[in-house]
Amino acid sequence: MRLALAERSVRGDRNRVSVRIDFQPIGRHVKGQQGQTLLQIAREAGVGIASLCGGRGVCGACRVQILEGSVRPPTSREREAFSAQELASGYRLACLIRPRGDLKVHIPPRTLTTEQRLQIEGQLRPADVAPAVRGIAVRLSQPTLTDLRADVTRLTDALRQEPGVEGATVDATLLRQLSDQLRHEEWAAIVGLRGHEVVSFHAADRGPLGLAVDLGTTKVAGYLLDLTTGETLGADAIMNPQIPYGEDVMARITYALQGVDGRDTLQQAIVEGLNHLAQGLCTRAGRRPDEVAEAVVVGNTAMHHLFLGLPVGQLGLSPYVPAVADALDVKARDLGLALAPGAYVHLLPNIAGFVGADHVAMLLATGLWEEEGNVLGLDIGTNTEVALKAGGRLLTCSTASGPAFEGAHIRFGMRAATGAIERVRLADSRVEVQTIGGAPAVGLCGSGILDAVAQLRRAEVLDRRGKMMAHPRTRQGEKGPEFVLVDAAESGVNEDITISRADVSQIQLAKGAMRAGVHILLQEAGLTEADLEGVVVAGAFGTYIDLGSAVTIGMLPPLPLDRFQQVGNAAGMGARLALISTVQRAKALDIARRAKYVELTNSDRFANEFARAMYLE
Amino acid sequence: MRLALAERSVRGDRNRVSVRIDFQPIGRHVKGQQGQTLLQIAREAGVGIASLCGGRGVCGACRVQILEGSVRPPTSREREAFSAQELASGYRLACLIRPRGDLKVHIPPRTLTTEQRLQIEGQLRPADVAPAVRGIAVRLSQPTLTDLRADVTRLTDALRQEPGVEGATVDATLLRQLSDQLRHEEWAAIVGLRGHEVVSFHAADRGPLGLAVDLGTTKVAGYLLDLTTGETLGADAIMNPQIPYGEDVMARITYALQGVDGRDTLQQAIVEGLNHLAQGLCTRAGRRPDEVAEAVVVGNTAMHHLFLGLPVGQLGLSPYVPAVADALDVKARDLGLALAPGAYVHLLPNIAGFVGADHVAMLLATGLWEEEGNVLGLDIGTNTEVALKAGGRLLTCSTASGPAFEGAHIRFGMRAATGAIERVRLADSRVEVQTIGGAPAVGLCGSGILDAVAQLRRAEVLDRRGKMMAHPRTRQGEKGPEFVLVDAAESGVNEDITISRADVSQIQLAKGAMRAGVHILLQEAGLTEADLEGVVVAGAFGTYIDLGSAVTIGMLPPLPLDRFQQVGNAAGMGARLALISTVQRAKALDIARRAKYVELTNSDRFANEFARAMYLE
């Protein structure tokens, strides 16, 4: 038995057989290896298939339909995850299928992440390209009996001709490859120089790349940049692979404190996710992860600590101090990231236990901290950070808005993918919905949920407290009253798509926490909402919401709509700025130094404000 | 079956049972854990048991005798390694025995390394203590609701009060422990500061330690130092665990080039050995390896490269250039060394492919490079490096003397342990021998071999070419003529101890290579041996040899004996100097820059000189 296994593994390594997968509806023809799972093949090719459990057959998110080609009978897990009819139609879990021949595979809308709106766009503010790692072209003479200089000496002698570079050193891990690489490239190459340290080695026609990451509690956005030009070569996003261990920050801190391995498990999960993300970005750009000579990662303080493997116990207990607040430069390999041999990860500074480097990045990208007058900044996500620039002061706080805006805990909630309802209008008894891609509705994404609540409130189907009134389209559901948005006949899921009283409560909790934070900061500055000259709305969710709806339900202050500005994923933008410019890194330090953190959880005022802010206006 | 295994492993971890081992003849009573091998128990307690194969049951060097207590029957390997009579007397291999109860164990002289002369002494030249890592005492205030500074900010704010320290950073791996450690030590501690980086954390009554290592091809010497006082707390030596993969430098380079893992195997072997060495040194000093905040390692260029995992292909091919010649600072963890979380290993510079950092360390320790006049330096080992200071010039070369001086390839050769013949005198037909510890003779160590050859040459039992003449004590052995030094009745091994014609040849090859190198350097400088005002003899072997004997056989130049100076393990001394003083490190750089390397292998002159130098004078 052991012999048979050993033989198979040898055969698997040596004579791997290719399989071709035709992914529909996106029309990608992809090559994989026998032995890989369908999920692995998709990921390596940059085809986005949702997975929350990291391919362990647990979450059921990676459901696909096999259209052509033969696969093995369903496993017991698949028999649990699908109805008999679905199984007969070829539904399987992509993480459990290992294709033995060519397949044609349909990715259903709720599984497909490639076409989902990633909210990773956003204009880059002008910033001179001055990255920490510069690509320097070198051409060396080869060793002879009369020139016995060591390989590294040969390289550092050449670098001495660069202005300001005296006595360069080579990263210890890069050293292990350098002698062979120099000979392979026939002594002409580009090296990535960071200060006085050589961190990467490139062929003569390739410069160093950079990776910027916005590490959200729920979503992780990655950007691949050319460090020479500052150009963005690609962008992608994945769900945070830590989600199975806890949906919000507090749940993950609790998990990290359990057992001896909790912290390591979370650290390895996110690092593995980032390695996949980087691999996918590089593949699509025709490059390799070992060309990535520098990374910048921003996240809230807990994500920052969990990514670095830092202790989080003190983050979960009053007075909630971070282990580290300063900006950091850490070797990527020390974290398990597979980038260039000597690559560093730069982490922007944190402001406090619950106002992290992602908020600093947002302030950096929007320039909000340099604005004259009274300006509010909201970075809306599972945690929402609030900043108030008032006169010379910069105040910040954090509120636990929860993952409702990402569709979690909402009966028909989903990510912003094809078929998601993104706009809702209620006219008399008719409901008009707009879906992403114009496809039949399969669920509600965040902006759709917000619209629905606002429309129901305007039509007085909801009262101020969120109670649901009688209406031709309301009915008693299993868990209380619900409103039918789309009838089964018109939906893409063969059932009515509804929004319930319970769904509305989730939105009230989320927006109440956020609004209460705004009130506390204004009080701290001696201002009222009317004094606000501008409101910057950032973050994955904030980009696509209807501002009118947000004001209607009391999520945003009742101000003229032209005072609001939606800026997209500003944290990701800030990460990119810090990636291509050390000047921007210095500004980020300045922001973190100047920000004054206001702690909400110890405040009686906050509890009162929260209770009031739960009302729909 | 899998269940049973899992259970056993859990039990093994949780309820480890202690065993007591009484090691004789050294009288050490030592505690071990069930499941450990006798060799592991001995190593952890600092009891020196020889092992060449790293505990894999291959080399047979760790033979011991079980005097009391029960052990399992012999394995097939042990039945090969011992006679039936030895097995009946309790002989076993220490690496294969896992004691299940208390044992009394006899360590035979050839197995015992603890009492062997390690040649690790030698006076330390005066050097102001100015180590790279300074221990700084800090006392911090703990976080409160009005002082929310991050843990690291709290520490770096305190360090700001140290002169010259602005904006200290903390090593990324140390960061993972720092928050918990600060709380455990109640915010008062000593931190190891290297430049602006905090690399280690210590209780308030403990300062940082340092480890100096002389990484020889055959022997590895380690020294534990207190970095605050510069004091040496302990010294120890092990055989280089790479020996099973090749006895000399060229054999190891060949091994490193084989297969994909050759280089990694050698790197891991030496790192594992150094971890054992450090563990033993710390245990005996009542300290822990994670208190070691800095290490200095010196070795020849090949050992240097293999320790760092650098490519060695180019070292084995003309023009024999090193991958790296400059001094290096590498994180200990990047090499697999288990020291303080942020500890660095400093490597002194190499001069050339076959004149390494160990020779730089020797020149540093002896001050030879600063001498006026014409002075020769020899660092005798498996490779012998030769330096000639002549006027303003410093010339160096390397010769492959081989491991004969360490006792290898000599029929009765052994290391300098108890019972080794270290002195030989021939008077008429009587042979007088002196053994280490005055014990019955069991073999010949290097100085004894040299004496024997010199005495036989003086008595004309050997002619100039090394041919053995008739004598009452010569006889025909299995492999040619041999001379009986000690009769079986008086020896400790129940057989005659002899030196053969073949043994003499080994010595001729070794000393011939060395002497030829001396001649070439002198010719390069336009000098003759008579011009030498001093000869410094360093290295493990050089310390204990009789200078008269060495001159007699033509290993050393025929000069008055008062021109010679034996300085012990000067490379190890140099490593210690570089460990406690950055000023000494700067001097080492200067030495490497000034040294001119002379390549011997391309020289016809060398072949001629070598042939001549093989003669006994």
Q: List pLDDT tens digits, range A501-550.
A: 999 999 999 999 999 999 999 999 999 999 999 999 988 778 778 889 99
Choose among B521, B536, B518, B473: nearest CA to B499.
B473
Choose among B304, B334, B295, B321: nearest CA to B242.
B304
- B148 to A173: CB separation less than 8 angstroms, yes or no: no
Q: Taking the model in full, what pTM does it have? A: 0.74
Residues belonging to chain A: 617
Mean of pLDDT values over A420-445: 88
Residue B5 has pLDDT above 80, yes or no: no
What chain B residue is nearest to A600 in terms of C-alpha separation? B145
Q: Which of A113-122, A392-401, B105-114 has the lowest mean pLDDT?
A: A113-122
Q: What is the pLDDT at residue B54?
A: 63
Q: List pLDDT tens digits, range B122-133.
A: 445 556 799 999
Distances (CA, A) of A428 to A350, A471, B200: 49, 10, 71
Residue B3 has pLDDT above 50, yes or no: no
Q: What is the pLDDT at residue B136?
A: 95
Q: List pLDDT tens digits, range A24-80.
A: 766 667 788 888 899 888 877 667 787 766 677 777 778 898 988 888 888 888 888
% of chain B exceeding 90 in pLDDT: 57
B346: alpha, beta or left? (left if phi > 0; alpha if psi -120 to 50): beta
From the number of C-beta atoms within 10 Å of its C-beta (0-12, 13-18, 19+), residue A328 rates as: buried
- A152 to B323: CB separation less than 8 angstroms, yes or no: yes
% of chain A exceeding 70 in pLDDT: 92
Q: List pLDDT tens digits, range A367-383.
A: 888 888 899 999 988 78
Residue A397 has pLDDT above 80, yes or no: yes
The CB density around residue B566, as the number of other CB atoms within 10 Å, is: 16
Chain B: closest CA distance from residue A529 (Å) = 28
Q: What burial letters (b/e) apply to B586-610, b meaning 16+ CB within 10 Å? A: ebbeebbeebebbbbeebeebeebb
Q: List pLDDT tens digits, range A106-154.
A: 887 667 764 434 333 444 555 679 999 999 999 999 998 889 899 999 9
Residue B450 has pLDDT above 50, yes or no: yes
Q: Which of A10-14, A562-566, A593-597 has the lowest mean pLDDT?
A: A10-14
Distance CA B477, CA A497 (A): 100
Distance CA B221, CA B120 (A): 7
Choose among A68, A115, A114, A61: nearest CA to A89.
A68
Distance CA B454, CA B384 (A): 20
Both tokens of B324, joined, read 């790296």
Q: What is the pLDDT at residue A121?
A: 45
Q: What is the pLDDT at residue B191?
A: 97
Mean of pLDDT values over A579-603: 91
- A311 to B180: CB separation less than 8 angstroms, yes or no: yes
Mutation to test the A interface, candidates B142, B149, B151, most A Cβ within 10 Å:
B151
Distance CA A127, CA A577 (A): 7
- A321 to B175: CB separation less than 8 angstroms, yes or no: no
Q: What is the pLDDT at residue A413?
A: 86
Mean of pLDDT values over A191-217: 95
**Cis status, amide bond into B319, omega within 30 of 0:** yes
Q: What is the pLDDT at residue B114?
A: 45
With contact defined as beta carbons under 8 Å apart, do A123 and A431 qualify?
no
Strand (E) or helix (H) holding A510: helix A501-525
Q: What is the pLDDT at residue A141?
A: 94
Q: What is the pLDDT at residue B267?
A: 96
Contacts of A179 in chain B (CB under 8 A): 310-311, 313-314, 323
Mean of pLDDT values over A207-228: 94
Chain B: closest CA distance from residue A323 (Å) = 5
Mean of pLDDT values over A448-461: 94
Where do we find the tokens 């296994």?
A: A5
Residues belonging to chain B: 617
With contact defined as beta carbons under 8 Å apart, do A440 and A491 qualify?
yes
Q: What is the pLDDT at residue B26?
A: 64
Q: Which of A28-32, A51-55, B17-21, B451-455 has the lowest mean pLDDT?
A: A51-55
Q: What is the pLDDT at residue B600?
A: 85
Chain A: closest CA distance from residue B348 (Å) = 14
Mean of pLDDT values over B70-89: 85
Mean of pLDDT values over B202-215: 96
Contacts of B301 in chain A (CB under 8 A): none
Residue A558 has pLDDT above 90, yes or no: yes
Both tokens of A282, joined, read 């590089």
Strand (E) or helix (H) holding B584: helix B582-594
Contacts of B322 in chain A (CB under 8 A): 150-151
Contacts of A325 in chain B (CB under 8 A): 149-150, 152-153
Q: What is the pLDDT at residue B165?
A: 83
Distance CA A525, CA A517 (A): 13
Residue B256 has pLDDT above 90, yes or no: yes
Confidence class for position A12, pLDDT limits 50, 70, 90: very low
Given A153, A309, A329, which is nearest B325 (Cβ)? A153
Could you give the count of Cα atoms lying within 13 Å of B280 in the half-sphere of its Cβ? Answer: 25
- B149 to A321: CB separation less than 8 angstroms, yes or no: yes
- A331 to B172: CB separation less than 8 angstroms, yes or no: yes
Chain B: closest CA distance from residue A86 (Å) = 37
Q: List pLDDT tens digits, range A464-491.
A: 999 999 999 999 988 899 999 999 999 8
With contact defined as beta carbons under 8 Å apart, do A348 and A359 qualify?
no
Confidence class for position B249, pLDDT limits 50, 70, 90: confident
Q: What is the pLDDT at residue B402?
A: 72
Mean of pLDDT values over B407-424: 84
Chain B: closest CA distance from residue A62 (Å) = 32
Q: List pLDDT tens digits, range B349-384.
A: 999 998 999 999 999 998 888 888 899 999 988 788
Residue B112 has pLDDT above 80, yes or no: no
Confidence class for position B283, pLDDT limits 50, 70, 90: very high
Residue A495 has pLDDT above 70, yes or no: yes
Both tokens of B567, joined, read 């300085």
- A314 to B148: CB separation less than 8 angstroms, yes or no: no
Pairing, β A219-226 against β A209-215: antiparallel
Q: What is the CA radius of gyration of chain B?
A: 26
Choose among B312, B307, B235: nearest CA to B273.
B307
Mean of pLDDT values over B243-256: 86
- A328 to B145: CB separation less than 8 angstroms, yes or no: no
Mean pLDDT (chain A, rounded): 88
Q: What is the pLDDT at residue A519?
A: 95
Residue B237 has pLDDT above 50, yes or no: yes
Both tokens of B27, joined, read 């009288």
Mutation to test the B interface, candidates A184, A271, A308, A334, most B Cβ within 10 Å:
A334
Mean of pLDDT values over A250-274: 91
User: Pick the residue with more confidence: B494 or B594?
Assistant: B594
Chain A: closest CA distance from residue B596 (Å) = 11
Q: What is the pLDDT at residue A541?
A: 78
Q: List pLDDT tens digits, range A93-105.
A: 998 999 999 998 9
Where do we find the tokens 């260029």?
A: B301
- Strand runs labelled E in B169-303: 169-170, 188-194, 197-202, 209-215, 219-226, 232-239, 292-299
User: Pick the residue with more confidence: B595 or A604?
Assistant: B595
Mean of pLDDT values over B162-188: 92
Q: What angle do CA A470, A472, A475 make, to 5 degrees?
A: 65
From the number of C-beta atoms within 10 Å of its C-beta (0-12, 13-18, 19+), residue B387 rates as: buried
Strand (E) or helix (H) holding A496: none
What chain A residue is nearest to B151 in terms of C-alpha separation? A323
Q: What is the pLDDT at residue A54?
A: 63
Interface size between A and B, measured as CB pairs under 8 A:
136
Distance CA B222, CA A55 (A): 48
Beta-carbon contacts of B564 under 8 Å, excluding residues fewer than 6 positions away, are B534, B535, B536, B537, B547, B556
Q: What is the pLDDT at residue B125?
A: 55
Residue B525 has pLDDT above 50, yes or no: yes
Q: Which of A397-406, A417-426, B219-228 has the lowest mean pLDDT?
A: A397-406
Confidence class for position B7, pLDDT limits 50, 70, 90: very low
Distance CA B95, CA B62 (A): 7
Q: What is the pLDDT at residue B545?
A: 86
Residue A4 has pLDDT above 70, yes or no: no
Mean of pLDDT values over A412-427: 86
Q: What is the pLDDT at residue A14?
A: 45
Distances (CA, A) of A306 to A454, B287, B341: 37, 32, 19
Pairing, β B169-170 against β B197-202: parallel
- B179 to A323: CB separation less than 8 angstroms, yes or no: yes
Contacts of B326 in chain A (CB under 8 A): 150, 152-153, 156, 169
- A148 to B173: CB separation less than 8 angstroms, yes or no: no
- The one-letter amino acid code at A337 reads L
